[in-house]
């Protein structure tokens, strides 16, 4: 198979190009990068390019982590409460969880997909799975009863979803995953991430993946380009997304 050579050249940021780029991004969005670049519009555009490339680079490891975590949690909940554990009242799910489950089922019905465990599980967001590691919220409209996820979810099932972690409690599992949830959402909503401690974000992904499945962690490290992107200066003309 012939591999096409890619000629990486610096892009010419003319005044017209910068005007159009700023207009399509919106002045408010571009202002974040402009402020970080000390008012230099070309450097702001290059920073935006770098931010886009790094965001794209993080998509793979975040996707891999989300799939691994949700499948591991689902497997352990299935052992404890059955494959359709989300319909088992013994799990003591709170209003927020039940609402998200109902929404996932509704979307499946509208799209004419089976409303079965594999499809329901795939339709639940990372935020849902992170919330299952929290304390649990209110269970009734009167807000008189609270779920107790420590007793109904963590101890009977979810502590086993991270089999390679040492001395991990529920809060210890929830904190880094909730932090990564906000990180994922920033990327999904095209927000700036250049101000974050991105090396630590990447390490957090590796750490949590290692708790679930060390071999997938090694696979991810072998194929991920985030480390390469993080050492590139934001004004490097070779940055590609």
pLDDT score for 4: 45
Q: Please write the tens of the pLDDT for every residue from 190-222.
A: 999 999 999 999 999 999 999 999 999 999 999
* Whether the Cβ atoms of residue 54 and residue 236 lie closer than 8 Å to each other: no
CA 28 to CA 61: how far, in whole Å? Answer: 30
pLDDT score for 9: 62
CA 10 to each of CA 22, 47, 233: distance values in angstroms, whole numbers, following the listed order = 19, 14, 14
pLDDT tens-place values along the chain, 241 residues long: 554 444 456 678 999 999 999 999 999 999 999 999 999 999 999 999 999 999 999 999 999 999 999 999 999 999 999 999 999 999 999 999 999 999 999 999 999 999 999 999 999 999 999 999 999 999 988 788 999 999 999 999 999 999 999 999 999 999 999 999 999 999 999 999 999 999 999 999 999 999 999 999 999 999 999 999 999 999 999 899 9
Domain membership of residue 57 (yes or no) is: yes
Domain membership of residue 10 (yes or no) is: no
Number of domains forming the structure of the chain: 1
Q: Is the pTM of this model over 0.75?
A: yes
Domain membership of residue 13 (yes or no) is: no
Domain membership of residue 26 (yes or no) is: no
CA 13 to CA 24: how far, in whole Å? Answer: 15
CA 70 to CA 133: how far, in whole Å? Answer: 11
Domain membership of residue 2 (yes or no) is: no
pLDDT score for 1: 53
Q: 127 lies in which domain range? A: 31-230
Domain membership of residue 87 (yes or no) is: yes
Domain membership of residue 115 (yes or no) is: yes
3-state secondary structure 143-190: CCCECCHHHHHHCCCHHHHCCCCCCCCHHHHHHHHHHHHHHHHHHHCC
Domain membership of residue 222 (yes or no) is: yes
């Amino acid at each position: 198979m012939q591999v096409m050579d890619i000629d990486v050249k610096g892009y010419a940021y003319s005044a017209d190009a910068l005007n159009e780029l700023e207009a399509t991004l919106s002045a408010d969005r571009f202002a974040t990068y402009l402020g970080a670049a000390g008012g230099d519009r070309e450097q702001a555009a290059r920073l935006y390019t770098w931010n886009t490339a790094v965001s794209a680079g993080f998509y793979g490891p975040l996707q891999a982590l989300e799939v691994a975590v949700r499948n591991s949690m689902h497997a352990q909940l299935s052992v404890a409460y059955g494959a359709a554990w989300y319909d088992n009242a013994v799990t003591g799910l709170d209003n927020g969880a039940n609402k998200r489950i109902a929404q996932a089922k509704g979307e499946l019905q509208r799209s004419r997909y089976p409303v079965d465990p594999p499809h329901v599980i795939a339709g639940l967001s990372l935020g849902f799975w992170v919330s299952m590691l929290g304390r649990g919220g209110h269970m009734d409209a009167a807000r008189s009863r609270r779920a107790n996820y420590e007793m109904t979810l963590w101890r009977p099932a979810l502590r086993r979803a991270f089999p390679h972690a040492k001395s991990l409690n529920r809060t210890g599992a929830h904190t880094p995953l909730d932090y990564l949830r906000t990180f994922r959402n920033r990327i999904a909503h095209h927000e700036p991430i250049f101000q974050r401690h991105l090396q630590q974000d990447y390490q957090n992904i590796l750490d949590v993946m290692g708790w679930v499945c060390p071999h997938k962690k090694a696979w991810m490290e072998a194929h991920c380009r985030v480390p390469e992107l993080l050492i590139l200066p934001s004004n490097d003309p070779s940055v590609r997304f």
